Amino acid sequence: MKVFVAATTAALLSACSALPNVEAMLAPANSHAPVPVARYVPVLEGTAGYHPVSPKNWVESNDQVAPKEDGK
């Protein structure tokens, strides 16, 4: 009997729930359905070009990136 009362109460209370959002249930074939604007983004946008370069003097390259001494 307790299970019947619990099931009946749950069924009656579920009828009091809010209706689902109608906008989310639009048919896929509806031509008037709101559609977000698609923005074109090139595939290579933001990439950097890495072209072959000639070798550089390694001593000068190291001196450019080495921490500076206090005396110099």
Query: pLDDT per residue over 31-61, tens digit each?
Result: 787 788 999 999 988 888 888 888 889 999 8
In this predicted structure, the answer to whether residue 8 has a pLDDT above a threshold of 80 is yes
For residue 29, what pLDDT is reported? 78
Per-residue three-class SS string for the chain = CHHHHHHHHHHHHHCCCCCCCCHHHCCCCCCCCCCCCCCCCCCCCCCCCCCCCCCCCHHHHHHHHCCCCCCC
For residue 23, what pLDDT is reported? 67
* CA–CA distances in Å: residue 24 to residues 9, 17, 30, 31: 29, 17, 12, 15
pTM above threshold 0.85: no
Which tokens go with 23?
Answer: 């906008």
